[in-house]
Structure 1
Amino acid sequence: MGEAYLFVSLPLLTLFISMCLNHQAFYGMFQDLVTKLKRPDNISNRKELLFELIRFHASIKKWFLDSAEVYGSFIMILLISTIIYLSCVLFQLDLQLKHIDFRILFLLLAFSISLLTLFLYCFFGKLANESYDKMCGCLYRSNWYELPVELQKCFILMIGNAKHPMFYRGFSVARLDLETFSKIIKSIVTYYMAFKTITQ
């Protein structure tokens, strides 16, 4: 069971991490465009730069929403299966401590890898969210009020659009962040205690 879990989970985790790192790269590119817009030597083509910024922001948001939709069902399955799997492994570890042999090492390894995998999903999910949130701050700090009035209106709309937080979520219920990670740890301990109570 552990081998199958790793076989499926690790490639998907690698893909997810690369997607979240792309969000950071997108933020860097977005920041460069905002910086160009502020430069005095770009006064003549500010309108073109602003439209490019709007298009880029819209494409980033669409990419985030599309990737979140693709990963939504997988995230929920991952969270539920990880809670059950780690609760069972923790229970097996508890039983194994009464009769210690080499199998305890495999259980410890399985528990550690599964917990690390879950942490990485939550950590990089939070990182992607923060990268998107930074765009709103970047827009707000860009001295947009110094632009011509017609461009200010576009900027205000884009700031309003960027203010809505974006998360990777499982069926729009559980979002991937460190708060969810701590809740899952509590759930694992709760299930483990339930298993222990049932078997006593």
Structure 2
Amino acid sequence: MRYTTIIVIILTVSLSFKAKSQQTLDEKNGFNKFQLGASIKDIKKLVKVNKSSFKDGKYYERYFVNDIEEYKLFGYDLGSIQFIFYKERLLEIIVQLKDQEFSSANVSINDDITENIEKQYGKFVTFPLTSRDKANAVIRKDKIIGSKLELHRYIYALTRTGNFSSLIKGDTYSFISIPINEQINKEDNGGL
């Protein structure tokens, strides 16, 4: 009986922490000052962007942040920030770290960021890779799922460069709006 009580208490505390972490993720609702669901016009008031010529489909538009050096992820430099809009609403924010020379110090950067994210939002859960992930050299895909926001982390394979050195493509973090994603799925399924 005593062990059952202890187990119930531990489960209650861990579930409470998980719920609080997911609530924090949902309250943040984006990255930095960028909020999922915002309009293109709202984002353009916050930051200078360039529209990509790449077409993701009839209702999708992709933009890149111009002055990337103004933004950091837990103090670390970024390689890019992309916005993907669906019907002029911000569906996804993609934050990619700079590519780095392979070293234990640079590997620890990714570990440090992961640790900081997990402290705030809860543990990442690993998901199976899709064929598209594998084609893009993703070796691991993790997610933290709230009720309004999914945070994905993509880890990439080493890339060989000249002189036998290796580059690590910076981990990529993707903040995805669940309500907009559900709207897309509903529209794709004829409103069902």
The question of a shared fold, defined as TM-score above 0.5 by the shorter chain, is answered with no
Q: Which has the higher strand share?
A: 2
**Higher CA-based Rg:** 1
TM-score calculated relative to the size of structure 1: 0.28
TM-score calculated relative to the size of structure 2: 0.29
Q: Which has the higher helix share?
A: 1
Query: Higher relative contact order at CA 8 Å, sep ≥6: structure 1 or structure 2?
Result: 1
